[in-house]
Amino acid sequence: MSRPAVFLDRDNTLIDDPGFIDDPDQVRLLPGAAQAVRRLRAAGYAVVVASNQSGVARGLITEEQLAAVHQRLRDLLREEGAELDAIYYCPFLDGPEAVVETYRRASEHRKPGCGMLIQAARDLNLELGRSWMIGDRASDIEAGQRAGCRTILVALSHAPADNGTCSPDYRADSLREAANIVEKESTPPTDQPTTSRSGTEPAADADVRSLLTEIRDLLDRQQRARRQEDFSFLRLFGTLTQMLAVVTAIWGFVGMFDTQTMTPAIARFALAGFFQLVTLTTIAIESRH
């Protein structure tokens, strides 16, 4: 089953941005960032970083150095009990500033393209229509909109202004505030119906009703199993008593040829009648099940 995600830009959204970071020791989480990630994941969202990293194409950082930076980012988050589901980045750049020829090309993965979000949705089975894109640039917002996500522009005091070039769904002063918006405005990620005056069943009531139904079905199955066991035992017992009744009746019939006395034959017929009575009683009990 697919789930929604919150896509985060990296620099000036999740961590401080001193420039093109090429050293893991330069990674600094922004205040409240780890707490925001924890809350978003607890709310049922995958948390995925989607970051343009043209420093690779510019020759300022290698992909190996970038991997070390991202590992440091994960480590810092884990120290505060937070975890990312994935990190996607685009190392490509089109134009003369891309001095590394291997990475000099246009790419739909580079924001404002939505390629990274689409790729993450395929890899992680995400539902973009219920997802969010949070970033500090117009390109982040446009990428989210192209992917069909709701968007939040994080306007840090030292981040570049968007100059009115984008129209996010919401604006926030920090990732922590953005997490508040996501929690407030999102429908439950499980798609359970919420409480409604129009008669829609609340999610909690639906869960309780489902649990009670499962318990009832389990009890019914157990009762049927017990009845089946009783039926088998009664049938076996009735068969045995019927056989005893027949054998005893034959024994009584043989006793009728005893010329000295008829008493043994009468006693045997009486015993046969008793066995037959037991058989009939067993059948009656069985029929009630």
Supply the CATH number for residue 23's domain. 3.40.50.1000
Containing domain of residue 134, as a range?
A: 5-185
pLDDT score of 200:
37
Write down the pLDDT at residue 270. 82
Listed residues 185, 211, 238: the one ending a domain: 185
What is the per-residue pLDDT for 33?
97
198 occurs within a structural domain: no
Low-confidence residues of the chain: pLDDT under 50: 158-159, 161, 163, 189-207, 210, 229-231
Do 174 and 260 reside in the same domain of the chain? no
Dump pLDDT digits (tens) for 253-274. Answer: 777 776 565 667 777 778 878 8
213-224 pLDDT per residue, tens: 556 555 655 555
Same domain, 29 and 166: yes
Q: Which of 182, 281, 198 has the alpha carbon at shortest distance from 237?
A: 281
User: Is 194 domain-assigned?
Assistant: no
Q: What is the predicted pLDDT for the residue at 93?
A: 97
Phi, psi of 276 (to 5 degrees): -65, -40
The pLDDT score that the predictor gives to residue 192 is 42
| pLDDT value of position 220 | 58
Q: For residue 190, is it within any domain? A: no
Domain co-membership, 233 together with 143:
no
Active site residues: 9, 11
Residues 11 and 106 placed together within one structural domain of the fold: yes
- Counted domains in the chain: 2
Is the domain of 106 the same as that of 242?
no
**Same domain? 126 vs 244:** no
Shared-domain flag, residues 130 and 15: yes
Q: Are residues 52 and 160 in the same domain?
A: yes
**Are both 17 and 146 inside the same structural domain?**
yes
User: Are 10 and 124 contained in the same domain?
Assistant: yes
Look at the chain and count its residues: 289
Distances (CA, A) of 187 to 23, 150, 195, 208, 282: 39, 12, 12, 20, 60
Q: How many CB atoms lie within 10 A of CB 119?
A: 15
Global pTM value: 0.64
Distance of CA 44 to the CA centre of its chain: 8
